[in-house]
Amino acid sequence: MAQQEPQQTERSLTMSRAMVEAIAHEMREDDDVFYMGEDVADYGGIFDSTEGLLEEFGYDRIMDVPISETAYLGAAVGAAQAGMRPIAELMFVDFFGVAMDQIYNQMAKNTYMSGASVSVPMVLTTAVGGTYNDAAQHSQTLYGTFAHLPGMKVVVPSTAYDAKGLMHNAIRDDDPVVYMFHKRLMGIGWMPAPEGPKTGVPEDEYTIPFGSADVKREGSDVTVVTLGLHVHRALEAAESLTADGIDAEVIDLRTLVPLDTETVRESVSKTGRLVVVDEDYQSYGVTGEIVASVAEDGLGDLEAVERVALPDVPIPYARPMEDEVIPGVEDIETAVRNANE
Amino acid sequence: MVSGNELQEMYETMVTARHYEERLQEEYLVGKQPAFDISAGPIPGELHLAAGHEASGAGVCQHLRDDDTVTAPHRPHHIAIAKGVDLKRMTAEIFGRESGPSKGKGGHMHLFDPDVNFACSGIIAEGCPPAVGAGLAAKKQNTDSVAVAFLGEGAIDQGAFLESLNLAAVQNLPVVFVVEDNDWAISMPKDRITDVENGARRADGFDMPGTRVDADDAVAVYEAAREAIGRARDRNGPSLLEVQVHRRMGHFMGDPEAYRPAEDQEAAEQRDSIERLESELRAHGVDDETIEELRDRARERVEEAIEWATEQPEPEPDDAYEDVFVNPPSGVTDSEPSLAETGGDD
Ligand SMILES: Cc1ncc(C[n+]2csc(CCOP(=O)(O)OP(=O)(O)O)c2C)c(N)n1
C-alpha cells in the first residue's frame, strides 16, 4: 500500500495533542479551515480536541456555537459547499440524533444527489466510547451507524501517530469525513489513557491514506481485527496469549469507510481464524461486516470465527454492568482461545 | 400570597437539595484524589450538581401534585427532590446500586420515578417533547394534571425546545416550560450564544405568556409559577417561565472553570436564594429555632438516604441483559394463533 508515513520520532504526544497539531497546521496553511463546536474556544474542547487553538487563531476561527447541533452542523455543510473547509465538532457522538438529518441527508448525500457537481469538504469530529460509567446517552461509539450510511468517510484513530496523519488527510479530503476519537485514548488528565495511544509523532506534516489498515502485531495463529480503544485491549490480550502458545495477529482498521478488506483477507488466508472485536453494538455492525467481507471471498480460508462486541443492550451505568457489556481483555482472550480450539 | 407554611416547606426542600449536593460532592471525590479520575470512586461518571438552582425546583414544584409530570435535564437533583422522588432510592441509583429506581442502569442523569411522574434526560432540551406528550395525554384523558419541562438557558436555542413550544401552543396543552438561567452553558456565557438576554421572550414568537424572574428568589418563582401552572390547570394553555439561578459548583464535578472570571463566581455565591428565603421566613415570624429544626431535618434525611444507599448491594453483571423490553421479544411468537385456530383458510 502506498503510504507517506515517515519514521516515528522520539518526541511523543498524547492523541489529543497530535490531533490538535494537525488542525493547527492546516489552519495556518489554509484560511478556509475553521473549527466550530460547543466549548471549543475557552474550554479547548471537553476532551481537549481544540486545546490551545483559541490562543493562536482567535474566536473567529475557533468558534463556540449555541447548543443547536442541527444549525451548526448544517452550517458546516453549507459553508463547505460554498468553498470553505469547516471542522465541526459534535461533543459526544451520542448527540447525533438531534442533528441526524444534516449529517446523513445533507452532508452525506449532497455529493451523490448532485451527480458530484457539489462537494462537501468538511470534517465532523466527535468523541466516542465508554469505560467511565457515563451511562446509555454518553458512552456509545456508534461506529456501525455512521459506516452504514453511504457518503461519509469514517475515521477512527487509535494512536497519536495515526491521529495526526489521519487528521491531515481528513481536512484535505474533498469529501465529508467523520473523525471519531475515543475519549479514553485522548490522554485527558481526568480520564487516564492506557499505555498504547501516546506515541512518537513527527513534527512535520504527513498523511495516512484512508483505507489502509495497520497490522499492529504479526502472528500466525489467529487474526484479531479491531479499532479504537480495543486495538490496545487486543494487543494486551495477544501478549498474554503467548503464554498459551497462541500467536495472534492484530489489525487496526483505522478507517471504516473506506474499509481495507484486503489486509484482513490476506491475514486470514494465513491464520485461518478470525476474531473481530468492536466496542459498538453487535447486531448489524462492524463485526458482522468484517466477517461477511472475509467470507464472501475467502470462505474456504475460514476455520473459525468469533465476534466480541457490545451485546444489544443500551450501555448501563453501574460499574459491574458496564464492565460486563464493554469487551475487556479477558473477553478477547476467551474468544481467541475458542477460535483456536 | 404565599403562606408561612408553604414558605417553610419550600425552605426545607431547598436546604435538603443544597445539603444533598454538598454531600454528593464529598462522596463523589472519594477515590478521585489527588489525581482526578472520572471513573474512580463510589460515584463514577459525570456528576452535574445543582447547588444554586434550588429556588427554581422548590418554587415551581410547590404547586405540583404527584399526578403532574416533570421532565428534568442533566442537572436534576433539586427538581427530583422538590417533586418528591424517593430520596433513598434515588441516591441508590446515583451510587449505582440495585435498589435504585433503575436498578443501577440509569445513574444520575437518568432518574425515573413513575410514582411521582418524574423523568430526566442527559440530552439537551430533549425533555421538552415528552412533557408536551404528558400534557397531550392529560388533555385527551380529560384530567386536570399538568406537565412541566425544566431546562437550562443554554437549551433554549435547541430545535426540540422551540418545536415543543409551538406544538404545546397550537394544541393549547397544559405545559409549563421552566428555563433555569445560570448564565453559563458549560464554558459558554449567554451572550456568546444568543442575542436575546431575556429568554422568556422566546414565548412571544408562539403567542404564549413568557415571564422572567430576575432574582434568585424562591418567593418570586413561587408567585410566577402559580400563575403559569394555574393557567395550565385551568386549560388555558402553555407558558414559559425563565428563572435566574446561579451555578456554585462548576458545570460538572472536576470542571476546572478556568474560563470563569473569579468575580462571576463570587457574585454567584452572594446571590444565595436560601439565605434570602431565610430572611423571608424571619419576616413571617418564623423563629430561629424552627429554622434550625428544618435544617436539621433536611440534613438527617440526606444522611439517612446516603447511608441507606451505600448499604445496598451492587447489581450483578448479568443484570445488564435485562430490561431492554418489558415484553421480551421471545414472548411475541409464542402467543401467535395458528391460522386453523382463527378459523382462517386451512
Ligand atoms: C444535544 C446535546 N448537546 C450537547 C450536550 C452537552 N452538554 C451537556 S450540558 C451542556 C450545557 C447546558 O447548559 P444549560 O442548558 O444552560 O444548563 P446548565 O448546565 O447550565 O444547567 C452541554 C452543551 C448534550 N448533553 N446534549
- Residue ranges per structural domain of chain A: 12-200, 214-339
Query: Whose C-alpha lies nearest to ligand 1, atom 5?
Result: B124
Residues of chain A contacting B123 with CB distance shorter than 8 Å: 94-95, 97-98, 137
| Alpha-carbon gap, residue B113 to B81, rounded angstroms | 11
C-alpha cell at B174: 397544559
Give the distance from residue B56's alpha carbon to the nearest chain A alpha carbon, in angstroms. 22
Residues of chain B with pLDDT under 70: 330-346
pLDDT at residue B76, as a whole number: 98
Residue type, A304: A
Identify which of B168, B289, B295, B294 has the alpha carbon closest to the alpha carbon of residue B228: B168
> pLDDT (tens digit, 0 to 9) for every residue of chain A, 341 residues total?
344 555 556 899 999 999 999 999 999 999 999 999 999 999 999 999 999 999 999 999 999 999 999 999 999 999 999 999 999 999 999 999 999 999 999 999 999 999 999 999 999 999 999 999 999 999 999 999 999 999 999 999 999 999 999 999 999 999 999 999 999 999 999 999 999 999 999 999 999 999 999 999 999 999 999 999 999 999 999 999 999 999 999 999 999 999 999 999 999 999 999 999 999 999 999 999 999 999 998 999 999 999 999 999 999 999 999 999 999 999 999 999 999 99
Contact A260, A239 (CB under 8 A): no
- Taking the centre of ligand 1 as the mean of its atom positions, its distance from the CA of residue B124, in whole angstroms, is 5
Determine phi and psi for B196, rounding to 5 degrees. -105, 110
| Alpha-carbon gap, residue B329 to B338, rounded angstroms | 18
Q: Which of A68, A98, A281 to mutate to test the interface with B (most CBs of B within 10 A)?
A: A68
- Identify which of B39, B154, B186 has the shortest CB distance to residue A43: B186
Q: What is the 3-state secondary structure (H, E, C) of A152-206?
A: CEEECCCCHHHHHHHHHHHHHCCCCEEEEEEHHHCCCCCCCCCCCCCEECCCCCC
Give the distance from residue A298's alpha carbon to the nearest chain B alpha carbon, in angstroms. 34
Catalytic residue ranges of A: 138
The count of structural domains within chain B is 1
CB contact under 8 A, B45 and A136: no
- Taking the centre of ligand 1 as the mean of its atom positions, its distance from the CA of residue B73, in whole angstroms, is 8
pLDDT at residue A65, as a whole number: 98
- Specify the 3-state DSSP secondary structure of A307: strand
**Is B181's C-beta closer than 6 angstroms to any atom of ligand 1?**
no
Q: Which residue has the cell 463547505?
A: A80
DSSP state of A279: E
**Is B184's C-beta closer than 6 angstroms to any atom of ligand 1?**
yes
pLDDT at residue A5, as a whole number: 55
Q: Which of B29, B48, B99, B123 to mutate to test the interface with A (most CBs of A within 10 A)?
A: B123
C-alpha cell at A41: 474556544
Identify which of A279, A4, A43, A240 has the alpha carbon closest to the alpha carbon of residue A158: A279
- Identify which of A41, A98, A324 has the shortest CB distance to residue B318: A324
- Identify which of B121, B157, B187 has the shortest CB distance to residue A42: B187
Interface check for A312 against chain B (CB to CB < 8 A): the answer is yes
| Alpha-carbon gap, residue A83 to A86, rounded angstroms | 9
Strand partners, B180: B152, B243
User: What residue numbers bound the domain in which B21 lies?
Assistant: 4-342
The number of beta carbons lying within 10 Å of the beta carbon of residue A216 is 20
| Alpha-carbon gap, residue B152 to B173, rounded angstroms | 21
**Is B74's C-beta closer than 6 angstroms to any atom of ligand 1?**
yes
Contact A124, A103 (CB under 8 A): yes
The number of beta carbons lying within 10 Å of the beta carbon of residue A264 is 23
C-alpha cell at A322: 458496564
pLDDT at residue A264, as a whole number: 98
**Is A95's C-beta closer than 6 angstroms to any atom of ligand 1?**
yes
Pocket test for ligand 1, best of B47, B75, B79, B124 (most atoms within 8 A of CB): B124
pLDDT at residue A2, as a whole number: 42
CB contact under 8 A, B123 and A94: yes
Residues of chain A contacting B187 with CB distance shorter than 8 Å: 39, 41-43, 64
| Alpha-carbon gap, residue B280 to B217, rounded angstroms | 10
Determine phi and psi for A165, rounding to 5 degrees. -60, -40
- Specify the 3-state DSSP secondary structure of B268: helix
| Alpha-carbon gap, residue B11 to B14, rounded angstroms | 5
pLDDT at residue B346, as a whole number: 45
Please state which CATH number belongs to domain A12-200. Answer: 3.40.50.970
* Angle made by CA atoms B45, B51, B57, in degrees to the nearest 5: 105
- Specify the 3-state DSSP secondary structure of B252: coil
Residues of chain A contacting B102 with CB distance shorter than 8 Å: 317
Domains A12-200 and A214-339 share a fold: yes
Pocket test for ligand 1, best of B54, B71, B74 (most atoms within 8 A of CB): B74
| Alpha-carbon gap, residue A211 to A198, rounded angstroms | 22
Interface check for A136 against chain B (CB to CB < 8 A): the answer is yes
With 0-12 CB in 10 A as exposed, 13-18 as middle and 19+ as buried, what is B136? middle
What fold characterizes domain A214-339? Rossmann fold (3.40.50)
Name the packing angle between helices B128-140 and B159-170 (round to 10°).
20
pLDDT at residue B227, as a whole number: 98
Give the distance from residue B74's alpha carbon to the nearest chain A alpha carbon, in angstroms. 11
- Specify the 3-state DSSP secondary structure of B83: helix
Give the number of residues written for chain B.
346
DSSP state of B238: -
The number of beta carbons lying within 10 Å of the beta carbon of residue A41 is 25
- What CATH number is attached to the domain comprising B67? 3.40.50.970
Contact B77, B118 (CB under 8 A): no
Residues of chain B contacting A190 with CB distance shorter than 8 Å: 36-38, 254
Size of interface A-B (CB pairs under 8 A): 140
CB contact under 8 A, B259 and A320: no
C-alpha cell at B316: 450483578
Q: In whole angstroms, what separates CA A213 from the centre of its chain? A: 12
- Specify the 3-state DSSP secondary structure of A123: strand
Q: Which residue has the cell 432540551?
A: B125
Q: Which residue has the cell 442575542?
A: B195
pLDDT at residue B338, as a whole number: 59
Give start and end residues of each alpha helix (H) in chain A: 15-29, 53-61, 69-81, 100, 110-113, 143-148, 160-172, 229-241, 261-271, 286-298, 319-325, 329-340
Residue type, A3: Q
Name the packing angle between helices B4-29 and B288-311 (round to 10°).
40
| Alpha-carbon gap, residue A294 to A301, rounded angstroms | 9
- Specify the 3-state DSSP secondary structure of A280: strand
Strand partners, A87: A35, A123
